[in-house]
A and B are shown apart, each in its own frame.
Chain A
Amino acid sequence: MNKKMSALILLILSFHCWSVEQDWSASYLFESQGLYDKAIEAIRLPETELNGSSLVVNIDMQQFQNGNKAETVEWVSQMESILSTYEFTLMRIAWLHYQKRDYSQSIDEYRKVIKLNPESIDAQIALLSPLSRLNRWKEVAMVSCQVIESSPLSYQAHLFLMQAREKNKNWTALEDEARILIVKFPTAVDPWVYLGRALQHQHKIGDAINAYQQVLVRYPNNMEALRYLQSQS
């Protein structure tokens, strides 16, 4: 712990000044208007970088030491407030980049959060959306497996994993994954749809018909199931 703290202090001493105020209301208002750049600007973070899982903030120590005490106390309070919401701010900036369709930027921001807090299931699941938008299915599968390992009941992670299996045309793995999810979430329709697809591509016609019939029980107008059953009638 001492080693970590002294490393942090040294890093703090070596950087430059920042001053920032975050306006969360404005950020949400701009987002609702589709003004994502402004929404990001409203909650702009100080110049930071990640060193391992430690955060380095750029501060001018001379200004810190020479300023009058009231100003400095206010400045530290402001900074504490930002640091206390730092992880959430990064998550929100990542989300706003995703909304803006800057998917690579969004991935970078989510990865910062995961670096800061490797146990964040939120960030890992959120990361799956921009990865899938970029068709980075191998990484989608890897991150999904990581989430499932630490949170086996994460429905979203299972869904993304099935999507990755489908895009990689790994039908046997998709079938296995869908069957696991059907047991865990028996009322859900998605696992039955994916099971139907997996069986269909493996030409297990009887089983595929059964799977699509299960889909229609849960979602009577599902076009994919109707088309398949019609093709086999």
Chain B
Amino acid sequence: MDYLLRRLVGSFMVLIGAGMPVSADEIPWSGEIAVSYLTGIYSGDTIKDDLNGYGIKSKFKYLDDYDISVGYSRSGIAFDSDDYNNTLYQDAFQFEVSSHYFVDSVNGTLTPSVQFSKIGGNLSDSALGGLTYMGGILRYMSYEQNLYGDIHYSKSDYDLNIEVYQYDISVGGSLFGPANWGQVRLYDIESQSFDRRYFSADFLVKHWLSAYSLLSPDNIYFAFTLGDRLLAVDPDTLVIANLSQIQKQYIRAGAEWALPNQSHLSLALAYSEYELSTSGSDYSGTFLFLQYSKKW
């Protein structure tokens, strides 16, 4: 019996790897840093004059498994009225952690994320007060990258004891080939402080071009929102519309240039119509957004 046991152990020993660990040129971490600038002008029945802001965002990625992103932005709205004749600023901090799971049974990647944001400053004090946002989002992307879905839930606590809950769900996919993408996101925003629930749908169409020249963008997109939104959060960018105004229409178009050395330039134009929930007066805003990002 001892002989048999030794024979068996001998077989095992054949299987013991004797190789040495191999070092690689690649490091498991990668990162991205983005700086952005936002400017806008208001027109119509409002004391707001213009908007200016800037932001910085960093994203760190460990292999293809974990992401951590942190961001800071500062924006100011200039007022022009007898009561206000200055610029009020707000500061926003963002934090998001994601983990990617590759799940064969659903033929795609599931990415749960936890999001946190804090906004403060004298602009928010003049309206609803600062806020603390906490949210969670579960994203799905098929292995072939031709089907996308997400489900998001968040709660925003404003200093004036207003709690806003947002539920949204998205479905997206390739349209007529891999160069086109279409996506719909349905929003439901509610709060005990609101007189009603706010439903809206956001539609996005994106097209990738064959960029043969420096001026030719890598991709262009067009998006618009139908329905009303109040105190809404964009779960992708964590931009929070924290002013007490109903967003009636929101149209935007943008382009992204892929520059050499893993850097990108994004330019977006947006137009939005608002209704003040308190007075019912209407006004509009036109915005320009510029972002430069670099990966390493």
Contact = CB atoms under 8 A, between A and B. Distances in A.
A129 B99 CA distance: 22
A145 B27 CA distance: 10
Contacts of B13: 4-5, 8
- Which of B15, B18, B23, B258 has the largest number of chain A CB atoms within 10 A? B15
Nearest to A203: B214
B212 A228 contact: yes
Interface string A58-73: 0000001100000011
B64 A65 contact: no
A227 B210 contact: yes
A145 B212 contact: no
B64 A133 contact: no
- Chain B interface size, as a band, is 35 or more
Contact of B7 (A8, A80, A172, A232): A80
A54 interface: yes
Contacts of A86: 15
A139 to B, nearest CB: 6
Given A80-B11, A203-B214, A54 B262 contact: no
A107 B63 CA distance: 15
Interface of A: 4-5, 8-9, 12, 53-55, 57, 64-65, 72-73, 76, 79-80, 83-84, 86-87, 101-105, 107, 115-120, 133-139, 141-143, 145-146, 149-150, 168-172, 200-203, 227-228, 231-232
Interface of B: 1, 4-5, 7-9, 11-26, 28, 30, 61, 63-64, 102-104, 107, 109, 143, 145, 210-214, 258, 260-262, 295
5 contacts: A83-B12, A103-B104, A143-B24, A149-B23, A203-B214
